[in-house]
Structure 1
Amino acid sequence: MRGDYLFSVLKSVGEGLDSFVVLSEAVLTAGYGATGKRIDYEVSKIKKQRTVSALERKRKQRLSSVLWKLKRDKLIEVNPETRAFSLTQEGKKFYSDLEKRFPLCHYPSPTYKTFRGKTVKIVLFDIKEKERAKRIWLCSALKNLGFRMLQKSAWAGENMIPKRLILDLDKLEILGDVEILEVLKPGSLKENLREIIDRSSKTS
């Protein structure tokens, strides 16, 4: 018997009955005569699948609990034929109140995939105070993209601006309030920013 195979078996037995059951599944999947590394890989994969299944069960349990409470409070109702959920009048009012209290909850996700660019980008924006929630959302999106704040409404970073962010800005009707510029000439960010702001103020 190979030493690494024996080690994997002993290690799993030492971790308890559940690990032994996992190991049995792993050996069957990997095949007899598989190396210890191959079995360890299968063990890791099975444990990961079980973790995902456990998380899914927890999510389903949480969802069931929330739906039960909403139904109990007469905020939702269930169609007896289709079993589909719908908001009651009281539920619609409750949802409207939540929208006002948590305006960011119905905005697009501020998380995007990041891709390294070749130049520094500066994002300037002038979003009205009455749309403060949109400004907070944009700052969160830029921060998630790895940008750093230079001034209150000026951010800089080297990562690329995703196309989906542009589409989301348009969807939120603030695309016209945002200017994205590339820094092509050498110099400090402060110098470039000062020059850009001066140029923008002259053309506005």
Structure 2
Amino acid sequence: MRKLVRPQDVLLLGLAGALDTFEELRDPFRLVSKSYESMYGWVPKQYRKNNFGNLVWRSLKAGYIEKIEKKGSVYIRITSQGQERIQRDFPLLDFHRKRWDGKWRIVMFDISELEKEKRNYLRRKLRELGFGMLQESVFITPHDIIKDFSEYLDSIDLGKYVYMLEASNILVGDFKELARKVWNLDQLNDKYREILSHLTALNGRTMQLNSQEQRKIEIRKTREKYLQVLLSDPFLPKELLPSDWVGYQAKKLIKNL
């Protein structure tokens, strides 16, 4: 299930470096910084700049961001509290920077039809955490998430239904083929290809656009599309990705916008 992304999420994701924009951002209240313009470019076009300013104020008040001064210039940056919120709401983003330890985590559960709401909730949560469905009640992931997930299940009284295993090997012929089927990587790769094609066309078109405003609109649309694809990515280790994976290339081009 695709996670609903709020404007505040976009701000914090950008400041956390998850969107490959800026880890620090010039004070948007001055409305003169190119960094501000780039950060605002991640926010959906219907989100007006005065609303964006209010969003920054609310984030400052909540303690998710802070203002700092460097060499006479004022910047904002994400705080540890803001980082914790991103890690809580988008836990998969942590994994794309980590090396795979070669182990698989397997979650199995047995929940009767009488408690299907619990069963459906568990399946949704597993997918949200990047697990792939091997069978209807068997999910797998290469990410080292079992301990945290076990504690979470206990906190919501679902631990008694779930069995978890950690294995150094799964008896399959080809790990990449397993990953391709379980996580439907062909479809995800096609979405990244669409982004890549759009970026390539955009780079060729920007010089022909009549105004800076038109260019910013095109960039904003592209970033919105990329963000939706990015947050549906299970961030599998490179050992499990197909040889023609274009996600990294799309990321590089987005970063250079």
User: Would the TM-score normalized by the shorter structure come out above 0.5?
Assistant: no
Write 1 or 2 for the structure with the bigger share of helix: 1
TM-score normalised to the size of structure 1? Answer: 0.40
> Higher Cα Rg: structure 1 or 2?
1
- Indicate the structure whose relative CO is greater, using CA pairs within 8 Å and at least 6 residues apart: 2
TM-score normalised to the size of structure 2? Answer: 0.33
